[in-house]
Amino acid sequence: MQIYVGNMSYRTTQESLETLFSQFGAVESVKLINDRETGRAKGFAFVTMNEGAKEAIEALDGKEFEGRTLRINEAKPREERPKREFSKRF
């Protein structure tokens, strides 16, 4: 199950998230989301785990971690974005 982790501190690392979630089961992956242009953290991530995912969501949603109150829920499928049309300048 993929878990959305929001309202994170910008200093949160993959390792600290993995440690936090591993209390509930084996963590398959952690993906911190960064801004494409600046490379800075955007304050959210996705954690993938099978066993213990629901327990982790229930236990950690609304809890303080590294100075921020986390928002945690099951990740929703990514919505298709409409394609942008670019005007040609000649």
Tens digits of residue pLDDT in 52-83: 999 999 999 999 999 999 999 999 887 776 77
Which residue's structure tokens are 């955007």? 42
Write out the residue range of the structural domain in which residue 7 sits.
Answer: 2-74
Q: What angle do CA 8, 47, 14 make, to 5 degrees?
A: 60
Residue 32 lies in a domain: yes
Q: Is residue 79 part of a domain?
A: no
Report how far apart, in Å, the C-alpha atoms of 19 and of each of 4, 36, 72, 74 are: 16, 26, 16, 19
- Over range 20-37, report the average pLDDT: 95
Residue 52 forms part of a structural domain:
yes
Q: Is residue 88 part of a domain?
A: no
What's the pLDDT at 71?
97
Quote the pLDDT of residue 77. 81
Please give the pLDDT value at position 78: 75
Can you give the CATH number for the domain in which 46 is found? 3.30.70.330
The answer to whether residue 58 is domain-embedded is yes
> Is there a domain that residue 85 lies in?
no
